[in-house]
Structures are given as structure tokens and as C-alpha cells.
């Protein structure tokens, strides 16, 4: 991109020098005025073409940047959802561990505590639900990563038809 801008500035400087030279030739009555005028017009045309190329490249770059930022935002959103599910799974597993410890302690004392059994069952169910949600979030992340790879060959096949 900087090469194009450098070429653009060099062409503009050359055009200015040509214009000044033409003015000097007009004053001196030079015979090559028409040739120099044509060269100036050619340089202006080349400059306009380069300017258009720079504009097109800038638009492409902005579009690519916007698309990349959009994809990054989507990936970050999915990653946050996955992280929340993992945190939920960790909390559920910690509750399950605590409930199992309490149940073991009650069994070691020979006292069957029904509320400890219920607490352990509820914690286990919550752990299972959290594990399932984490698996779904992980599968969604995998699908999101594979979808662009699967769509690209399909788009190429459609273009070839």
C-alpha cells in the first residue's frame, strides 16, 4: 500500500516538473510543446489509474478488516459462552464433591441422612446438566470452526458450474 502511495507522489512530482517545463518552453517557444503536452496527459491518466487502484485496494482492505473483526467478535462471544458453561460445570462438580464428602462422613458414622442423599443427587444432576451444556458449547465451537472450511469448496463448485 505504501509503494502505491510512493509511486503516486512520485508521479505527481513528475507531472509538476513537466508542467513547469511546458511553461518554460511556451515562454521560449519550444517546438516540442505538443509532445510534452501529450506526455503530461499520459501522466495524468496514469495517475488517475493509480489513484483508482489505491481506492479499490483501500476498500478491499477495509472490507477484509471489517469481516475479520466480525469473525473475531463472534468467536469471542462463543468463547465467553463456553467459558461460562465450564465455570458452571466446575461449580457443580465442587458441590457434588462436597455432597459426597458429607454423605461419606454420615455413612462412616453409621447415620443415614436422607437430606444428604437428596443434596448429593441434586448436585449430581446439576453436574450432569452442566457437563451437557459444556459439551454443547464445545460442539458449537467446533461447528463454527468447520463451517467456513466446508462452505469454501461448495462456493468454488458453484462458481465452476
pTM: 0.48
Q: For each of the chain's 161 residues, which pLDDT tens digit applies?
A: 677 788 788 888 888 888 887 676 655 555 566 777 888 899 899 999 999 999 999 999 999 999 989 988 888 888 888 888 888 888 888 888 887 788 778 777 877 777 777 777 788 888 888 888 888 888 888 888 888 888 776 656 666 65
pLDDT at 155: 57
Q: Which residues 6+ apart lie within 8 Å of 94 measured at CB?
A: none
pLDDT at 66: 92
pLDDT at 56: 92
The rounded distance, in Å, linking the Cα atoms of 85 and 87 is 5
Under a CB-based contact definition with an 8 Å cutoff, are residues 120 and 99 in contact? yes
The label of the residue with cell 469481516 reads 67
Q: How far apart are the first and last CA of the chain?
A: 35
Amino acid at each position: 500500500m505504501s509503494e502505491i502511495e510512493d509511486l503516486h507522489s512520485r508521479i505527481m512530482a513528475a507531472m509538476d516538473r513537466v508542467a513547469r517545463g511546458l511553461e518554460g518552453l511556451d515562454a521560449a517557444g519550444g517546438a516540442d510543446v505538443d509532445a510534452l503536452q501529450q506526455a503530461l496527459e499520459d501522466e495524468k491518466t496514469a495517475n488517475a489509474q493509480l489513484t483508482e487502484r489505491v481506492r479499490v485496494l483501500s476498500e478491499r482492505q477495509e472490507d477484509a478488516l471489517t469481516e475479520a473483526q466480525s469473525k473475531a467478535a463472534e468467536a469471542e462471544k462463543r468463547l465467553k459462552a463456553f467459558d461460562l458453561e465450564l465455570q458452571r460445570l466446575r461449580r457443580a462438580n465442587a458441590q457434588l464433591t462436597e455432597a459426597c464428602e458429607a454423605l461419606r462422613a454420615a455413612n462412616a458414622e453409621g447415620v443415614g441422612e436422607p437430606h444428604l442423599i437428596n443434596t448429593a443427587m441434586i448436585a449430581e444432576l446439576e453436574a450432569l446438566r452442566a457437563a451437557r451444556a459444556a459439551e454443547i458449547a464445545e460442539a458449537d465451537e467446533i461447528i463454527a470452526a468447520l463451517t467456513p472450511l466446508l462452505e469454501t469448496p461448495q462456493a468454488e463448485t458453484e462458481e465452476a458450474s
